[in-house]
Amino acid sequence: MSQLFWHQMNKEELIETLGSSEKSGLSIDAVNERLAEHGANELAETKKLSPLTIFLNQFKDFMVLVLMGATLISGLLGEYLDAITILAILVLNAVLGFVQEFRAERSLIALKELSAPTAKVIREGKQHSVAAKELVVGDIVLLESGDRVPADIRFLEANNCYVEESALTGESIPVSKHESTLYEAELPLGDQRNIGFMGTLVTRGTARGVVIRTGMATEMGNIANLIQSTEEMQTPLQHRLEQLGKILIAVAIALTIMVIVAGIMHGQPMYGMFLAGVSLAVAAIPEGLPAIVTVALALGVQRMIKRKAIVRKLPSVETLGCASVICSDKTGTLTQNKMTVTTLWLSDRTLNVTGEGYEPVGKVYENNQELDIKHDNSIKRLLQISALCNNARLEKQEAVHRKGKVMVEQDEWVLNGDPTEGALTVLASKLGSPAKLLEAQYKRVQEFPFDSERKLMSVVLEHQGGRIIQVKGAPDVLLEQCTHILWQGKVVSMTPALKTKAQKANEKMAQSALRVLAFAYRDLHTQETCRDAGDAERNLIFVGLTGMIDPPRAEVKDAIATCRAAGIKTVMITGDHQLTAEAIAASLGIIPRGGETMSGKQLDQLSDEELDQRVENIYVYARVSPEHKLRIVRSLQRKGHVVAMTGDGVNDAPAIKASDIGIAMGINGTDVSKEASSLILSDDNFSTIVAAIEEGRGIYENIRKFIRYLLASNVGEILVMFLAMMAGLPLPLVPIQILWVNLVTDGLPAMALGVDQSENDLMKHKPRKAKENIFARRLGWKIISRGILIGICTLGAFWITLQEGDLVKAQTVAFATLVMAQLIHVFDCRSSRSIFHRNMFENKYLVLAVVSSLVLMLGVMYIEALQPIFNTVSIGLREWCLVIVAAAFPTVFFGIGSVLSGGKSKKKKKWHPAANAA
Ligand code: ATP
């Protein structure tokens, strides 16, 4: 008999062939062995740039090539010293550029790794979450709606499971999957309904399967090379800077030509002028700018990672700084997602349940009297549904804690699964109906998993030859499907009066910020199965309600206040009940006076125009479905807002994609939402979004700082040469000095500015406009005015010294003045106001960079061996006084100006919800 294909085997054959166990999966040893033998479950990557290529790319720059040509000419003319020094400087320049770019590249790769997908597996009988690349053949994998299938698997169990396989088959409509054996040998991929293919997407349902192929052996591996796409990692700012760079090159070249022509006309030697001109052009063109921007972005991204925000798309770093609205989920993001059932409502009785966390210890009270529930059928029924219409698992795990100086071993209850369901599992265990016990008596034959559209979950169970449907979900939805109610132990018709009682109880619990779930059931005729969820969830018998607390996260209230001060509006969008949402929003300070809340139903009744008119005053959307989110995002965007939107489910992906900053949850998010997002919160926490926005703003300001520094320096450099040539003076700086200034003075301090600490008021002003020009807020003026003054002061110092008749001395003074002026000016660039507004020594890197630049400058001025190379002489105290006065003048002048005008950089504007409208 020829060997069977995977889809032809039955469960036993499969498990045996793969050497696994359906219940407990593989052992860790077996996993390690298989991993060592077959390698990681990864698709081969496209080639990365080698370090050598990155290094050689540094010499591709047009002006660097011209300079190398010029160096060659000077070499041929016998100016060996010049040639070697220029070459050395160029190589150093390339090394600096290489280090910057290499670092940037590495950080980007590290980023990708961080957002790599994970998979849920059963190993040694326990559920684990592992990196998808660590999967091996034989692993038992759990899948649910929103997951990407992490390897090729054969299904062992599929509950209403649909998978979208368009990447492989081109078929965009999800196909249903099952676990039954298929008998035909040669089946096209689209017909292999019991196989899940790596990279395809579970759109509905849940499933369990065993891995049959990993990595390049999978079907996706077969076509991997065809589908690998590289993502656009350049940010809009980088793109604009590239454009700007081109303009600056043109300007620099034009000015250089003017300098050369003016110099030659005034009798300067042609060769010397040519070299000076080209050096000037090299110095004046901010060729390092793109690399420093990348480094600043990449380092900022690293800082964000430390604050638990993982950036998936670099451009979002910039957009973060412009965010004017954050639309956030409630459960898990604003709240802790640690649910505990505290209240029960049955037959018009309100009961309280004690106990905390996941430990299944607690009692039930009515009017402060402990209840004996042994003979209470209603409660027992509710507990039964809680335990069985549930996929969460509660497990006891050994954990080691530090108690003072000793480590103590302690058993800890750990929840696997959805926290809402976890709370119900705990409730059932607390009150004597543990799931394990019940599962032995009730066999699950069908499941219609929870989805946030239906807001219900149901199961069909078999018990003593009969079948029963159990349903739980949002009370308002479930009540509509109930024709009867279990009232004081008896099933009676659901009268309007009884229904109102249940609704009132629901509202009362919701008003106290409780998350409320309702429970119902129906007996089926023997062996009956349900066609679909609609078929199951009808004609039900209502049992009761549970109310669970989900405390707000402690740090969120402050984060929301920070947002408000920063001109960012927080909007809660939740599937939960309006009253629950309002109670939690109120406790977090989300709704300002006069702010409105809206339900999904009300939203449905509004046209887009009507929504646009009201959208800016709505702070809470409750009982919404994922597609409502898309409408909200679009409406806010039409009002000119830059919207950050969180989401976790598979249906949230369109809204996440449509928003300006799509945010997914690292812990509870589905793969689909993560893939659609540009930012992942590794702790699912709202405050992390605020931290990321703060970093985003900081990064942008730092980029502005070093653009300001570099360009002002360049203006100064060009101007000093240009004015000297126009005035018929000799060259104030020789080519090597110009290159030296470019390398040492510009490079290190600019990089240090890229990692500068943010100013204190970063989160105290409105977000910047998305289309804001990088030179906005007077940056252009600052660059030009400071640059002009630096140029004039340097030239002044040169001219004064030149009166003594010693050109080399005058050039040394000009060199020292230019370097010093820039090293003083760099501190000014740290503040949006003036040098006097910040502690100069706060940025240690900057202090180090400035000190190193100073030492290097003194080195070329005072080390005798270097003096002829750098055309310097030792200068005395009188010259130093001149240098220091001329160098400090530009910064001090503007600093005093700023202090006198009251440091008027920003008028603090009061925050108003509509403040960011276009
Ligand atoms: P958010 O969008 O803020 O995360 P949410 O988690 O409350 O809000 P959903 O998960 O869509 O939103 O839940 C909506 C409602 O569905 C809940 O209020 C609850 O009544 C019900 N519900 C939640 N989880 C389940 C579940 N596992 N089974 C049945 N019903 C559920």
User: Does the CA dihedral 839-843-844-849 come out positive or negative?
Assistant: negative
Nearest CA to ligand 1 atom 7: 576
Q: Is residue 11 part of a domain?
A: yes
Residue-wise pLDDT for 523-556, tens only, equals 987 777 788 888 899 999 999 999 999 999 999 9
The best mutation among 507, 517, 578 to test binding of ligand 1, ranked by most ligand atoms within 8 Å of the C-beta, falls on 517
Which domain CATH number covers 345?
3.40.1110.10
Note whether 290 and 144 are same-domain residues: no
- Tell me: pLDDT of 383 over 50: yes
CA of 577 to the centre of ligand 1 (A): 9
**67-76, 669-678, 692-701: segment of lowest average pLDDT:** 67-76
Q: What is the DSSP letter of 26?
A: B
As given in the structure block, the two tokens for residue 690 are 């605020």
Q: Is 418 in the pocket of ligand 1 (CB under 6 A)?
A: yes
Query: Among residues 139, 329, 671, 756, which one is catalytic?
Result: 329
- Tell me: pLDDT of 404 over 70: no
Note whether 781 and 650 are same-domain residues: no
Note whether 81 and 187 are same-domain residues: no
- Give the C-alpha distances (Å, rounded to integers) separating 203 from 450, 573, 816, 820: 13, 22, 67, 63
What is the pairing mode between strands 118-123 and 152-164?
Answer: unpaired
Place of tokens 């979900």: 473
* pLDDT recorded at residue 271: 75
Average pLDDT over residues 696-711: 90
Average pLDDT over residues 711-733: 88
Nearest CA to ligand 1 atom 18: 576
From its phi and psi, is residue 589 left (phi > 0), alpha (psi between -120 and 50) or beta?
left
The CB density around residue 3, as the number of other CB atoms within 10 Å, is 8
Note whether 199 and 324 are same-domain residues: no
773 contact partners, CB below 8 Å, separation of at least 6: none
How far is residue 662's CA from residue 646's CA, in Å, rounded to a whole number? 6
Q: Is residue 766 part of a domain?
A: no
Cβ–Cβ under 8 Å, residues 545 and 345: yes
Secondary element (H or E) of residue 123: strand 118-123
3-class DSSP assignment, residue 296: helix
Q: DSSP for 784-853, please give it.
A: HHHHHHHHHHHHHHHHHHHTTT-HHHHHHHHHHHHHHHHHHHHHHTT-SS-GGGS-TTS-HHHHHHHHHH
Note whether 29 and 157 are same-domain residues: yes
Note whether 530 and 642 are same-domain residues: no
Q: Is 330 in the pocket of ligand 1 (CB under 6 A)?
A: yes
Q: Choose between 917 and 83: higher pLDDT.
A: 83
As given in the structure block, the two tokens for residue 420 are 């809402």
Note whether 377 and 443 are same-domain residues: yes
Average pLDDT, the chain: 85
Residue-wise pLDDT for 599-645, tens only, equals 999 999 999 999 999 999 999 999 998 889 999 999 999 999 999 99
Nearest CA to ligand 1 atom 29: 473
Identify the domain boundary among 619, 654, 684: 684
How far is residue 629's CA from residue 636's CA, in Å, rounded to a whole number? 11
CA of 737 to the centre of ligand 1 (A): 68
- Per-residue pLDDT band for 917 (boundaries 50, 70, 90) equals very low
Q: Is residue 764 part of a domain?
A: no
Note whether 189 and 253 are same-domain residues: no
Q: Which domain holds residue 144?
A: 6-45+111-229
- Per-residue pLDDT band for 577 (boundaries 50, 70, 90) equals very high
How far is residue 653's CA from residue 149's CA, in Å, rounded to a whole number? 17
Q: Is residue 264 part of a domain?
A: yes
Nearest to 516 by CA among 525, 532, 504: 504
β-partners of residue 61 are none
Q: Is residue 768 part of a domain?
A: no
Cβ–Cβ under 8 Å, residues 285 and 242: no
How far is residue 205's CA from residue 421's CA, in Å, rounded to a whole number? 16
Secondary element (H or E) of residue 621: strand 618-622
Q: Is 782 in the pocket of ligand 1 (CB under 6 A)?
A: no
* pLDDT recorded at residue 457: 94
Note whether 162 and 76 are same-domain residues: no
As given in the structure block, the two tokens for residue 242 are 């590239």
Q: DSSP for 359-377, please give it.
A: -----EEETTEE---TT-H
Residue-wise pLDDT for 80-131, tens only, equals 766 777 777 777 777 767 776 676 666 556 655 655 678 999 999 888 889 8
CA of 358 to the centre of ligand 1 (A): 19
* pLDDT recorded at residue 898: 79
Note whether 823 and 717 are same-domain residues: yes
Residue-wise pLDDT for 27-47, tens only, equals 999 999 999 988 888 877 655
Q: What angle do CA 894, 743, 90 make, to 5 degrees?
A: 155
Q: Is 455 in the pocket of ligand 1 (CB under 6 A)?
A: yes
The best mutation among 455, 556, 571, 670 to test binding of ligand 1, ranked by most ligand atoms within 8 Å of the C-beta, falls on 455
Q: Is residue 316 part of a domain?
A: yes
For the CA of 625, the closest atom of ligand 1 is 11
Residue-wise pLDDT for 299-350, tens only, equals 788 888 888 898 887 778 888 989 999 999 998 899 998 899 999 999 889 9
Q: Is 312 in the pocket of ligand 1 (CB under 6 A)?
A: no
Q: Choose between 558 and 199: higher pLDDT.
A: 558
As given in the structure block, the two tokens for residue 168 are 């492989």
Average pLDDT over residues 347-362: 90
Note whether 466 and 348 are same-domain residues: yes
Nearest to 680 by CA among 730, 646, 710: 646
Place of tokens 């702070």: 619
How far is residue 878's CA from residue 885's CA, in Å, rounded to a whole number? 11
Which domain CATH number covers 894?
1.20.1110.10
**83-92, 453-462, 496-505, 796-805: segment of lowest average pLDDT:** 83-92
Which domain CATH number covers 202?
2.70.150.10
- Per-residue pLDDT band for 208 (boundaries 50, 70, 90) equals very high
Cβ–Cβ under 8 Å, residues 869 and 808: no
* pLDDT recorded at residue 907: 42
Residue-wise pLDDT for 431-485, tens only, equals 988 888 888 899 988 888 888 889 999 999 999 888 999 999 999 999 999 999 9
CA of 147 to the centre of ligand 1 (A): 19
How far is residue 774's CA from residue 704's CA, in Å, rounded to a whole number? 7
Q: Is 811 in the pocket of ligand 1 (CB under 6 A)?
A: no
Q: Number of folded domains in the chain?
A: 5
Q: Is residue 155 part of a domain?
A: yes
Identify the domain boundary among 229, 248, 266: 229
**251-260, 461-470, 694-703: segment of lowest average pLDDT:** 251-260
Q: Is 450 in the pocket of ligand 1 (CB under 6 A)?
A: yes
β-partners of residue 569 are 325
How far is residue 891's CA from residue 3's CA, in Å, rounded to a whole number? 82
Cβ–Cβ under 8 Å, residues 110 and 634: no
How far is residue 148's CA from residue 171's CA, in Å, rounded to a whole number? 16
Cβ–Cβ under 8 Å, residues 155 and 11: no
As given in the structure block, the two tokens for residue 595 are 């702010």
How far is residue 400's CA from residue 385's CA, in Å, rounded to a whole number? 34
Told to judge if 376 belongs to the known catalytic residues of this protein, a careful annotator would answer: no
* C-alpha torsion 336→340→345→351, nearest 10: -130
How far is residue 885's CA from residue 264's CA, in Å, rounded to a whole number? 32
Q: Is residue 720 part of a domain?
A: yes
Note whether 215 and 75 are same-domain residues: no
- Tell me: pLDDT of 147 over 50: yes
Nearest CA to ligand 1 atom 19: 474
Identify the domain boundary among 638, 660, 684: 684
